[in-house]
Amino acid sequence: MLQSLKGRDFLSLKDFTKEEILALINLAIELKSCHKQGIRKDILAGKTLAMIFQKSSTRTRVSFEAGMFQLGGQGLFLNTQDLQMGRGEPIADTARVLSRYVDGILIRTYEQKEVEELAYYSQVPVINGLTDLYHPTQALADMLTIYEHKGKLEGIILAYIGDGNNMVHSLMIGGAKLGMEVRVATPIGYEPKKEVIEMAKTFAEESGGKIILSNSPQDVAQGADVLYTDVWASMGQEKEAEIRKNKFQGFQINDKILKLASEGAIVMHCLPAHRGEEITHEVMEGPQSVVFDEAENRLHAHKAILAALL
């Protein structure tokens, strides 16, 4: 199964089968176990990953850079100022040049079409480190975290409360592919994109999963195995922050919401978190929070992607 991933791009989980996603999760578990035991796996010895960052990052940059090193390769951090892209060089030209130097390209940017254009012209695998539409590398780490804490993915009820953003798009697609019930509660007017909803519903029908949309945090939290949230205003939406703060009142994971979930429910957040807004400090630091396990799993999920693709 993993052999089928060699040389592929990682632009969205929609491009992968249930079996391929599970194979990546299992590889991440194996690599994590080796790491904990101090066993070095030089799978990518002599290979390099160009890492283009048009958006700032803590977890994506460090996990991919550290991951390449731990697998025997090297990550090359490149921001817009380091590249001629910042001075108007077309993405197509950047792709054709970089792919003659390196074994893979990671990009974290705004528009999904930029990632797709980069992949179209690149001769090496391209990994989507985040766009305004999708965040597939985070979603894979999330699925790994849920599996570790719940022992399964199929049939799990994941309740997402907050903005209908890139994060929920990837959770809906990944969850639907894996047979999960993904419930999404957003304020009116902040729902996920219709085309992503329809796509996820199609995947859910094939897997036996469900996609449920609501404007009630209480409804989606009822009996959920996983409570998940994200910031109310993502990067690029700073001017809307105050408006969103008013609109999203009541869409917070707090003790009241947590009590509605199933016994032993876990709480997740992709970080960075604004405590007191989308999640309370008490819940984030509480015994049901797996937020930092989730953050750690970025490293191991990303290593699995690198090892499988490069």
Digit-coded pLDDT (tens) for 11-21 = 999 999 999 99
Q: What pLDDT is recorded for position 220?
A: 98
* Paired tokens of 59: 């977890």
> 183 - beta bridge partners?
159, 212
Q: What pLDDT is recorded for position 207?
A: 98
Helices (H), 153-289: 166-177, 194-207, 217-221, 241-247, 255-260, 281-284
pLDDT in tens, 244-264: 999 999 999 999 999 999 999
DSSP one-letter code for 104: E
pLDDT in tens, 272-296: 999 999 999 999 999 999 999 999 9
Query: pTM of the entire structure?
Result: 0.96
Average pLDDT over residues 51-77: 95
Name the residues annotated as catalytic.
108, 135, 138, 230, 270, 298
pLDDT in tens, 169-195: 999 999 999 999 999 999 999 999 999
Query: What is the residue-averaged pLDDT of the chain?
Result: 95
* Paired tokens of 25: 């999760």
Query: What b/e sequence results for 281-292 when a residue is b if at least 16 CB atoms lie within 10 Å of its CB, and e otherwise?
Result: eebbeeebbbbe
**Residue 116 CB burial class (10 angstroms; 0-12, 13-18, ≥19):** middle
Under the banding of pLDDT at 50, 70 and 90, the label for residue 85 is low
What percent of the chain stands above pLDDT 70?
A: 98
* Paired tokens of 71: 């697998």
Please report the domains of the chain, with CATH numbers, ordered by start residue. 2-134+298-309 (3.40.50.1370), 138-295 (3.40.50.1370)
Dist. CA 269–CA 75, nearest whole Å: 26
Q: Tokens 């859910």 identify what position?
A: 204
Average pLDDT over residues 87-103: 91
Under the banding of pLDDT at 50, 70 and 90, the label for residue 235 is low
Q: What pLDDT is recorded for position 86?
A: 58
